[in-house]
Amino acid sequence: MSGVIHFIESLNLGGKRSAAETLLVYALHIVVAAVFILPLMWAIAASFSPNQEVFKYAYPFSWRALLPSNFTLAAYENLFARDFGVALSNTFVLGMIVVFVGGVVNSMAGFAFARFNFRGKRLLFVAIILITFLIPIDLTAIPRFILISELKWINTWPALIVPGLANSLVIFLFRQFFEEIPQDLIDAARVDGASWFSVFYRIVLPLSRPVLITAALLMFLSQWDSFFWPLLVAPHPALRVVQVEIAISIGEYQTLWNELLAGSMLAAIVPILLLLPFQRYYIQAITSSGLKD
């Protein structure tokens, strides 16, 4: 294994790469890219095929498995006929709400941890951030579920929105980023008499575009991917989210392979369209948090 790592690393150094080495780099890229893209190509092709042809070119394998040979929208039409569109729009609206409200809540907390010294800071940071980050949220779902039912929130939007607003990972990310903002900028504004809230709103946030985009991506994606909690608190069809719809389909329509794959592809396309254009911000913010010791 480490031999392979050395080998790849050895192709990397300096601009002087021989033609053979360049060719090797491309060959490696093509093999790895195929591993990631072929499953999705097959899934897309199968989702546009009649159900009885889903496995036709998969076993035994032929390249025709990667293109729909009898193109049909039947799987998608059937999906929307049974309210898949409701699940899609529910999930989208939920994601937007969580991004905006959660963005405010988490960035404020991150700012407090990054720029202030206060009594109990260490304790709060360790207790709230680290513990909630380490404790599997799904495994504390039982008391949370009881709490939600006592609030009479079962099958309501607040049950889907409120528990996920504060996100310790996102707070951590904001803290890391805000720590890098030069103290001079903040001091200058404070000397001019700006309140802490206006410092935060007018100085810090405008400088924080990368982390804001990253946090929005993280929160939207985690909302989009959430499954277990919505299944517990909002099983009603009118409130169903996309991952729950897919999981229920696995049980209910287990031999309607093309519809399962069509639903999966619809669930996949939204995050893909969000992540690809913003990948630069994503990586940039990771650099700022990942490299700090």
Partner 1 sequence: MSIHSKIVPYLFLLPAVLLLLIFNLWPTAATLHQSLHAQSFISNKLVFVGLENFERILKDPIFWKSVQVTLIFSILVNPIQIVLALMLALLANQRVRGIALFRSIYLLPVAVSINVTTVVWGLMLDSDSGLINGILATLSLPKQPFLTAPSHALWSIILLATWKGVPLWALFFLAGLQGIPESVIEAAKIDGANRRQIFRHITLPLLRAVLLFVLVADTVANFLLIAPVYSLTQGGPQLSTNLIMFETYRRGFVYNDLSTAAAMLWVMLIFVLLVVLFQAFVLRRRD
Q: Which of residues 5-44 bind partner 1 (CB under 8 A)?
A: 5-6, 8-15, 22, 25-26, 28-29, 32-33, 35-37, 39-40, 42-43
Question: How buried is residue 196: exposed, middle or buried, by Cβ count under 10 Å (0-12/13-18/19+)?
Answer: middle
CA 193 to chain centre: 39
CB distance 145 to 138 below 8 Å: no
CB distance 160 to 95 below 8 Å: no
Give all strands (DSSP E) within the chain, no chain letters.
Answer: none
The contact pattern for partner 1, residues 80-109, with x = CB under 8 A and - = no contact, is ------------------------xxx-xx
Supply the DSSP string of 33-47, one letter for each residue. Answer: HHHHHHHHHHHHHHH
**Identified binder of partner 1 from the candidate list 18, 60, 182, 206, rule CB under 8 A:** 60
Query: Which is closer to partner 1, CB of 7 or CB of 71?
Result: 7
C-alpha radius of gyration, the chain, whole number: 24
**Identified binder of partner 1 from the candidate list 210, 212, 224, 234, rule CB under 8 A:** 224
**Identified binder of partner 1 from the candidate list 92, 227, 253, 281, rule CB under 8 A:** 227
* By CB under 8 A, residue 67 contacts partner 1: no
The residue type found at 217 is L
**Identified binder of partner 1 from the candidate list 53, 65, 94, 233, rule CB under 8 A:** 65
Site for partner 1 in 112-141 (CB under 8 A): 112-113, 116, 118, 121, 124, 127-128, 131-132, 134-141
CB atoms within 10 A of CB 199: 20
Site for partner 1 in 229-288 (CB under 8 A): 243, 246-247, 250, 257, 260-261, 263-265, 267-268, 271-272, 274-276, 279, 282-284, 286-287
* By CB under 8 A, residue 73 contacts partner 1: no
CB distance 265 to 251 below 8 Å: no
